[in-house]
Amino acid sequence: MTVQAPEAPLRELTDEEVAAYRDDGAIRASGLFSDEWVGRIAEAVDYVLANPSVLAQATADFSDGKANGDAFMWKTHEAFRDFVFRSPASRVAQRLFGSRTVTAFYDQVFTKPRGTSKPTPFHEDATSFPVDGDQVCAMWIALDSCGPDTAALTVVRGSHRWERDRAPVTSSLMHRAMKSDRAETAAPGPETRRDVLTWDEKDLLAWDLAPGDAVIFHPAALHGATGTAPAHGRRAFVSRWLGDGVTFQPKKGVMPILWDPGLAPGDPMGGPLFPRVLPAVDTDEGQWEAQQPDPERLGHFLRRIGRG
């Protein structure tokens, strides 16, 4: 099977951007993705929001219905699958990591309708992931204009280097389930932007973002967001990537895996759920047809959060 190679980004990350990511844990990167890619993903996001999956309904970030999201969309939707295998994202990750290999981790959508007053509490993602290794990144791509006070992502500078084990702090049912699994060992995280602002203001990284701008951040970095403006909502698409040396480490209290990954603990990341994209796609790993979650795994997860 012939597989089209991923496109090159419109520009390469600079040495300064790569160094800032390593030091600060987050950067804003503009001009990486074409208008065509941004438009196609925005259209696909609108589709999944209008046609929510079972996972989307179960893991809504706000119980009052004012924000919606989904995850692993590439397993069920062609546009997101094309983004994994054909967009410049994998090449951006390779430049960021300086790695030989790049593996797709998972994608996610976060939206906040206009007038959403509830903030996204500050939290970190690394302790929720079933992986071990440092070459992990998230590309938070704005699909609407937003800023520090209108739900753009805010990151605590350098927090990816802190020594800690914090449970995710969020109102989503999925994260509350994970948090309860780790309640005995996890330290509390800061709840709100106000809590974080008790630190020095210069420790916060936040930018005005235009559609297509990406905040690329380390999953161990504390991050959150404010609510939205009365007249404007915010959609964001997150694409997560892995570099060299990352292994599969399932454990209690991590994100649910609703498809069979085909991996044993300690295996290098790869396979049908986490496909390698660079240096070349392994066509035995790539999943080219839509595939819904495994019914048994989905049922177990829904029971875990009280919706089964």
- Both tokens of residue 134? 């440092």
The 3-state DSSP composition of the chain as helix, strand, coil percent (nearest 5) reads 25, 20, 50
Buried b (16+ CB within 10 A) or exposed e, 232-247: ebbbbbbbbbbbbebe
Cβ-based neighbours of 39, under 8 Å, separated by 6 or more: none
Model pLDDT, residue 196: 53
pTM over 0.85: yes
Model pLDDT, residue 203: 87
Confidence of residue 174 (pLDDT cuts 50, 70, 90): very low
| Number of domains making up the chain | 1
Model pLDDT, residue 167: 46
Domain that holds residue 26: 15-304
Pick the most confident of 7-11, 110-114, 299-303: 7-11
Q: Is residue 189 part of a domain?
A: yes
Confidence of residue 304 (pLDDT cuts 50, 70, 90): confident
Residue 62 has pLDDT above 50, yes or no: no
Q: Is residue 139 part of a domain?
A: yes
**What is the distance between the alpha carbons of residues 156 and 251, in angstroms, rounded to a whole number?**
27
Residue 58: φ, ψ to 5°: -75, -25
**What is the distance between the alpha carbons of residues 121 and 171, in angstroms, rounded to a whole number?**
8
pLDDT digits (tens, 9 = 90+) for 15-49: 999 999 999 999 999 999 999 999 999 999 999 98
Q: Is residue 38 part of a domain?
A: yes
Model pLDDT, residue 185: 47
Cβ-based neighbours of 195, under 8 Å, separated by 6 or more: 122
Q: Is residue 80 part of a domain?
A: yes
Residue 199 has pLDDT above 60, yes or no: no
pLDDT digits (tens, 9 = 90+) for 236-266: 999 999 999 999 999 877 888 999 999 999 9
Residue 300 has pLDDT above 80, yes or no: yes
Model pLDDT, residue 180: 46
Instruction: Check residues 301 and 211 and name the one with the higher pLDDT.
Output: 211
Q: Is residue 255 part of a domain?
A: yes
Residue 78 has pLDDT above 80, yes or no: yes
Model pLDDT, residue 200: 54
Least confident of 44-58, 59-73, 170-184: 170-184
Which whole-number Å values give the CA distances from 152 to 39, 77, 140, 206, in the listed order? 19, 26, 10, 7
To which residue do tokens 């990284």 refer? Answer: 205
Which whole-number Å values give the CA distances from 14 to 21, 24, 53, 189, 237, in the listed order? 11, 15, 38, 33, 23
Q: Considering the chain, what is the average pLDDT of its residues?
A: 86
Q: Is residue 67 part of a domain?
A: yes
- Both tokens of residue 72? 């692993």
Q: Is residue 113 part of a domain?
A: yes
Beta bridge pairs of residue 238: 108, 140
Residue 131 has pLDDT above 70, yes or no: yes
Confidence of residue 184 (pLDDT cuts 50, 70, 90): very low
Least confident of 50-64, 105-119, 132-146: 50-64
Least confident of 10-19, 47-56, 214-223, 264-273: 47-56
Residue 168 has pLDDT above 50, yes or no: no
Model pLDDT, residue 242: 99
Q: Is residue 134 part of a domain?
A: yes
State the CATH number of the domain containing residue 25.
2.60.120.620
